[in-house]
Amino acid sequence: MFKMYRVHVFHAPVDDKPGGTAMRLKALADAGVHLEYVHSERAEGKPGTGDLFVAPKQVKAEFDLVKKAGFHEVQEPIVMRFEGDDTTGLGGRVTMEWEKAGINLHGLMMAVINGRFVGYAQFDHAEDANKAAHLLAELGTKD
């Protein structure tokens, strides 16, 4: 059985230097924000800067704290969290089902901890995210 839901993602620019990301994350920690997702990367075409994407626990009070720390909510990419019991070949089965349905991933991260998997899939369009959630639910009911 799988669980999948959309996470609210917020963005802030960071300096592409040691401590650039740490400074932003420390501000969130000092504000009491509990993050469930963190993704950073160099900003394409902007030397010396990076992009930091975070998702706090899905509680409005946390969203407000993140905004006060200088982040803004982004609508794209659409990030979906999915989780469930791990089995051999699960990542391949999930992504194959999405591929057969014509879903193009913007990005994907999956990890297994203590027999459970958690993943974050990024989609360019809400239709793809909704289709992926439906397919994951179908896959979770198969033996």
How do strand 116-123 and strand 2-15 relate by DSSP bridges? unpaired
pTM above 0.85, yes or no: no
Answer positive or negative: Cα dihedral of 68, 63, 84, 82.
negative
Question: What's the mean pLDDT when you consider all of the chain?
Answer: 90
Q: What is the pLDDT of residues 11-66, one digit of tens each?
A: 999 999 999 999 999 999 999 999 999 999 998 888 899 999 999 987 889 999 99
pLDDT (0 to 100) of residue 142:
60
Collect all residues with Cβ–Cβ distance below 8 Å to 100 and sequence separation of at least 6: none
pLDDT (0 to 100) of residue 112:
93
What whole-number distance in Å separates Cα of residue 66 and Cα of residue 33? Answer: 7
pLDDT (0 to 100) of residue 90:
83
What whole-number distance in Å separates Cα of residue 49 and Cα of residue 60? Answer: 29
pLDDT classification of 74: cutoffs 50, 70, 90: very high
